[in-house]
Structure 1
Amino acid sequence: MGRIPCCERENVKRGQWTLEEDNKLASYIAQHGTRNWRLIPKNAGLQRCGKSCRLRWTNYLRPDLKHGEFSEAEEQTIVKLHAVVGNRQDCDTTRG
């Protein structure tokens, strides 16, 4: 017993995204939102997996995503926090 596959693997495109695919995904999400990632590729006319579309949107295409270098204020905040917290991977501040 397992999960239903998210897509048919033989019909899914892999590798780099093209500008045309980015535009299709962005325009579809602008009109319809991000409700069901499994249906978005089919409805947007993309031959991609829903997970691939979700990751592309989340990590590269979101309009509120900041691209480029950190500002001087952001850099100073990072340095200060690193001095306090260090390189800990467990940053759960709710623990005592």
Structure 2
Amino acid sequence: MDTSTETEPLERRLERFMNRNFPQIAMHGGTAGIDGIDEETGEVWLTLAGACSGCGISPMTIQALKSRMVMEFDEVSEVHASTGYGFDDERPDLSDVPF
């Protein structure tokens, strides 16, 4: 469960979560960014890039991000992640999702 203030936007809380829990992404030359959030369904789309693209342990990083994010944030039900080569799941059109 997210222990930060609920008045702060979800995107900001998720960014802080990633910086706090996954500093090794940046330390190893990678980046992790939020591509979209659908607050109605609780879905979040992330992309790992830079050194993460093609990295052998990026699948483990993605699994850790997915499981920890769902556990920590009540409003997140599912996380889709990519390493820059396409999403694990088919990605819906996010053009109309407010972000």
Larger Rg: 1
* Same fold at TM > 0.5: no
State TM-score, norm by structure 2. Answer: 0.21
- Higher RCO (C-alpha 8 Å, min separation 6): 2
User: By percentage of residues, which structure has more strand?
Assistant: 2
TM, length-normalised to structure 1: 0.21
Counting helix residues as a fraction of each chain, which structure ranks higher?
Answer: 1
